[in-house]
């Protein structure tokens, strides 16, 4: 090989390509395909990748990454859609997974499964739209996937617990059944939990929530005016979501973060205690 051939610069990734342009970081020749714009000149693909590994990801005060894909919201929406399709194909599924106070003492999975089932196409569309706008576009990126999932799931349980708490445990009457024997489905309780969380977190950050207050007010009125809406679950989800968000906000400082998950667990424990005490009181009243 001649001396002239030895000094011809070629791209390390593409040895068959001659390049007189060099990477500003490592100084190696870089062909047009491997060039990446830099503040000054260009960098090679390898240097760009190495730099990306050393850069810290920008995170919110609550630990969320604003650039993350809202995978938890996507997963919840996908589960709700699949469950709704299965409900449409099998009418018995709604009966098996809805939250019925009378049955849920011995079938506790209903406290959570009911939050992934819906009564109609309109019902699921409204809930998923609210989940997308409030959860996927804002809260999940603000909190991060794990904290966001905790808010959603604990709020769903809180909604069911409040529906249970406010349902009168009375003997069954075929002509006028109490909500104690009527099933409730829908992600509304969990979605209202997201509403409550947004209010608390925005207040902590000094941001306005005027639009959310209007949304909550409209939905509250609808819950009392339109028959068949489990407003009790909305109330329970809202209070629970606000409580979980309050714990997260209060423990957002680095020196307090070790108390964050114990605080969330305490909220969950209160929800469980409400259900246990209600069932204990109901047993006494039904036997009296």
> Quick one: which of 129, 153, 160, 112 has its CA closest to 241?
153
118 is catalytic: no
- What's the CA gap between 106 and 246, in Å, rounded? 32
Residue 173's region, left for phi above 0, alpha for psi from -120 to 50, else beta, is beta
Query: How does DSSP classify residue 29?
Result: B
Query: How does DSSP classify residue 115?
Result: G
234 is catalytic: yes
- DSSP codes of every residue in 142-187: HH-HHHHHHHHHHHHHHHHHHHHHTS------TTS--GGGS-B--S
Three-state secondary structure call for residue 58: coil
Contact 5, 29 (CB under 8 A): no
- What's the CA gap between 210 and 199, in Å, rounded? 9
The dihedral over CA atoms of 81, 84, 85, 89, expressed in degrees to the nearest 10, equals 170
- What's the CA gap between 182 and 245, in Å, rounded? 30
Beta bridge partners of 18: 10
Out of 155, 188, 208, 284, which one is annotated catalytic? 188
Out of 73, 234, 252, 285, which one is annotated catalytic? 234
Q: What count of Cα atoms within 13 Å lies in the side-chain half-sphere of residue 179?
A: 18
CB burial class (10 A; 0-12, 13-18, 19+) of residue 8? exposed
Run of H or E including 253: none
* Residues with catalytic roles: 188, 234
């Amino acid at each position: 090989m001649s001396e002239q051939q030895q000094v011809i610069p070629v791209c390390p990734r593409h040895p068959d390509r001659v390049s007189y342009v060099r990477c500003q970081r490592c100084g190696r020749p870089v062909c047009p395909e491997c060039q990446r714009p830099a503040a000054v000149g260009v960098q090679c693909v390898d240097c760009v990748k190495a730099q990306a590994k050393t850069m810290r990801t920008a995170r919110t005060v609550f630990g969320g990454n604003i650039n993350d894909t809202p995978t938890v919201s996507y997963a919840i929406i996908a589960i709700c859609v699949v469950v709704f399709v299965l409900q449409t194909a099998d009418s018995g599924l709604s009966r098996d997974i809805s939250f019925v106070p009378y049955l849920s003492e011995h079938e506790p999975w209903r406290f959570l499964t009911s939050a992934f089932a819906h009564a109609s196409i309109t019902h699921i569309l409204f809930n998923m739209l609210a989940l997308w706008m409030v959860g996927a576009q804002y809260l999940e990126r603000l909190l991060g996937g794990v904290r966001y999932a905790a808010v959603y799931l604990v709020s769903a349980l809180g909604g069911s617990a409040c529906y249970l708490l406010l349902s009168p445990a009375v003997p069954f009457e075929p002509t006028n059944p109490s909500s104690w024997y009527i099933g409730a489905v829908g992600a509304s309780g969990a979605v209202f939990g997201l509403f409550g969380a947004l209010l608390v977190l925005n207040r902590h950050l000094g941001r306005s929530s005027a639009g959310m207050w209007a949304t909550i007010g409209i939905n509250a009125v609808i819950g009392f005016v339109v028959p068949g809406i489990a407003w009790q679950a909305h109330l329970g989800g809202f209070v629970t979501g606000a409580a979980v968000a309050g714990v997260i906000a209060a423990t957002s400082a680095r020196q307090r973060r070790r108390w964050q998950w114990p605080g969330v667990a305490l909220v969950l424990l209160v929800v469980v205690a409400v259900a246990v005490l209600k069932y204990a009181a109901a047993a006494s009243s039904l036997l009296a």
